[in-house]
């Protein structure tokens, strides 16, 4: 009767197979991108924290040139947060007071001035502040800084980055 030719087998993938494969690749790439994104954001915030402390350090050096010493903390003690209430003498030397990129008050920039003996100083002629440390807690580094020269508390986080005067 009629001779029906056999269907030729086609090489390749069906539309359904392609759609399923693309869906799996999209799910995997979304997971990878979310991990990459959070790491680079933490790195960016840490870079800003370091830049903020460098800006404060530059202002402290200008203050020292004008006043023969670094500003004391108010009240005098074992260091203070970097803000206008704690270091009022520095207000004229900073354009704006730096704050943590996350805006959280639990992670702070700390300042600790020292006299020539390495103790607390009050900024008077007989007890000048001759050196300092600036500290903060980074997100990507969990190793605390060494014990000397001492950092003040970095809020509820462990201090992991420190600048000292040159």
Closest CA to 123 of 58, 86, 70: 70
The pLDDT, as a whole number, for residue 53 is 93
5-9 contact pairs (CB < 8 A, 24+): none
Has this prediction a pTM greater than 0.85? no
CA 166/CA 161 separation, integer angstroms: 16
The pLDDT, as a whole number, for residue 4 is 67
Flag residues of the chain having pLDDT under 70. Answer: 1, 4-10, 35-38, 104-105, 142-144, 147-149, 166
The pLDDT, as a whole number, for residue 38 is 66
Between the alpha carbon of residue 74 and those of residues 56, 67, 95, the distances in Å are 17, 17, 20
Torsion of CA 32, 33, 37, 40, to 10 degrees: 70
Residue 48 phi, psi dihedral angles, 5° rounding:
-65, -40
The pLDDT, as a whole number, for residue 143 is 64
pLDDT (tens digit per residue) in 130-165: 999 999 888 887 666 776 667 777 878 888 888 888
């Amino acid at each position: 009767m009629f001779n029906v030719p056999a269907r030729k087998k086609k090489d390749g993938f069906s539309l359904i197979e392609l759609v399923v494969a693309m869906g799996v690749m999209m799910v995997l790439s979304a997971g990878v991108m979310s991990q990459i994104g959070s790491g680079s954001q933490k790195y960016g915030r840490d870079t800003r924290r370091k830049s903020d402390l460098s800006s404060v350090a530059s202002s402290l050096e200008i203050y020292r040139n004008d006043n023969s010493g670094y500003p004391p903390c108010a009240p005098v003690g074992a260091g203070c947060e970097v803000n206008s209430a704690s270091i009022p003498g520095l207000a004229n030397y900073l354009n704006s007071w730096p704050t943590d990129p996350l805006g959280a008050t639990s992670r702070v920039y700390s300042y600790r001035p020292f006299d020539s003996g390495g103790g607390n100083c009050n900024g008077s002629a007989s007890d000048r502040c001759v050196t300092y440390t600036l500290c903060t807690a980074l997100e990507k580094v969990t190793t605390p800084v060494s014990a000397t020269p001492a950092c003040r508390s970095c809020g509820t986080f462990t201090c992991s980055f420190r600048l000292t005067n040159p």
